[in-house]
Amino acid sequence: PESKLPDVGTSIFAVMSGLANEQQAINLSQGFPDFNCPEPLMQLVTKYMHEGHNQYAPMPGVLKLREKISLKTDLLYGYLPNPDTEITVTSGATEALFAAIMAVVTPGDEVIVLEPCYDSYAPAIRLSGGTPVYVPLSLPDFSVDWDLVKSRISSRTRLLIINTPHNPTGAVMTKQDMDTLANLLDGTDILLISDEVYEHMVFDGQQHHSALQHPGLRERSFVISSFGKTYHTTGWKIGYAIAPPILTAELRKMHQFLTFCSVTPLQLAIADFMDDQQHYLTLPDFYQAKRDYFCEQLKGSNLEIIPSAGTYFQLAKYDRISDKYDLEYAKQLVHEIGVAAVPVSAFYHDKTDHKLLRFCFAKSENTLKAAADQLKKL
Ligand code: PMP
Ligand code: GLN
């Protein structure tokens, strides 16, 4: 049969983690922690399993979890979404993204995507019959050129996707970015997906600016987050989307036929664990310390560190060491020094090579030191 995505291969995250495992390399490629999630959270999961909560959850998500998400959103972003009509629990942010895109993009629509970007956006747009319209982020700091974005808006633009804090660059949008975006979309019927899965990983005293804080953006947005990032549970695949009732109703039509619902005991456990505000309030410091430790260990290496303002990723430029294409270079490093990273070209539709590698620092100090010691040999 004809392929629906003929040019799409295996995701770079699977490729690099597979290679790292095969070569027993230190894996700083795919983004996931090498330490465990909080013990009380695991105990809650087993408690709920033993109590018999092992059947389908309600389609939109366990009510208690949606209520907790609502309260947290109010606390952090000053907006109290209605759990019944505005919050949907999904199987990871990946499902929320897919469902949101499928829900609103129709054949012929254009969707503005800022590059580099997470690899699931474009396939979802294309499978919906839409066309991704790529706008590059501006070097060297990967900021948004809003005039350029404006110039790519057409009568066919249905949706725009932003991601802050940003994977893979670590760039964080400012309040001014959000204001400019709101002005740009004002008076149009363009919808917004704001991918905020790294909302609790913003460093150096900066703040995360959510689309939910901005009335002009909120009314047209799907705001997507993931407990995988916040609770060190990427393998649980529990995320959510917050959107106005009309958009939520459409998203749920997709969600109910993609997965119908997400894992019941995990939702119940997370709902209880959300009472521990300390966990997410201390997450910026927790990850900033890891970023700083990794960068400190890399001092004296020939890699050029690109400042990371958020996420658990650190970019490094290797053009002083090699002029190889980044994918080839990333593979070479696994064999040569036993360290796996993600080549940033994988986040560009045309595989633009800036000689940049992405390292995940959601790792123990031992792992970070071992990786840095190897990288200093380059
Ligand atoms: N968006 C971005 C920007 C991400 O980095 C990730 C995870 N790598 C996701 C979405 C998907 O999150 P989840 O694992 O919850 O599906
Ligand atoms: N979001 C993770 C990353 O950027 C990977 C997610 C995945 O493997 N699909 O590394």
Residues 203-260 have pLDDT tens digits of: 999 999 999 999 999 999 999 999 999 999 999 999 999 999 999 999 999 999 999 9
The 3-class secondary structure across the chain, one letter per residue, is: CCCCCCCCCCCHHHHHHHHHHHHCCEECCCCCCCCCCCHHHHHHHHHHHHCCCCCCCCCCCCHHHHHHHHHHHHHHHCCCCCCCCCEEEECHHHHHHHHHHHHHCCCCCEEEEEECCCCCHHHHHHHCCCEEEEEECECCCCECCHHHHHHHCCCCEEEEEEECCCCCCCCCCCHHHHHHHHHHHCCCCCEEEEECCCCCCECCCCCCCCHHHCHHHHCCEEEEEEHHHHCCCHHHCCEEEECCHHHHHHHHHHHHHHCCCCCHHHHHHHHHHCCCHHHHHCHHHHHHHHHHHHHHHCCCCCCEEECCCECCEEEEECCCCCCCCHHHHHHHHHHHHCEECEEHHHHCCCCCCCCEEEEECCCCHHHHHHHHHHHCCC
For ligand 1, whether the C-beta of 284 sits within 6 Å is: no
For ligand 2, whether the C-beta of 239 sits within 6 Å is: no
The domain made up of 12-30+282-375 has a fold known as: Aspartate Aminotransferase, domain 1 (3.90.1150)
For ligand 2, whether the C-beta of 132 sits within 6 Å is: no
What number is the average pLDDT over the span 146-171?
A: 98
pTM of the model: 0.98
Does domain 55-276 sit in CATH 3.40.640.10? yes
Domain coordinates in residue numbering, the chain? 12-30+282-375, 55-276
For ligand 1, whether the C-beta of 83 sits within 6 Å is: no
pLDDT score of 96 more than 90: yes
What number is the average pLDDT over the span 184-213?
A: 98
Nearest atom in ligand 2 to 197's CA: 1
What number is the average pLDDT over the span 372-378?
A: 97
pLDDT the model gives residue 202: 98
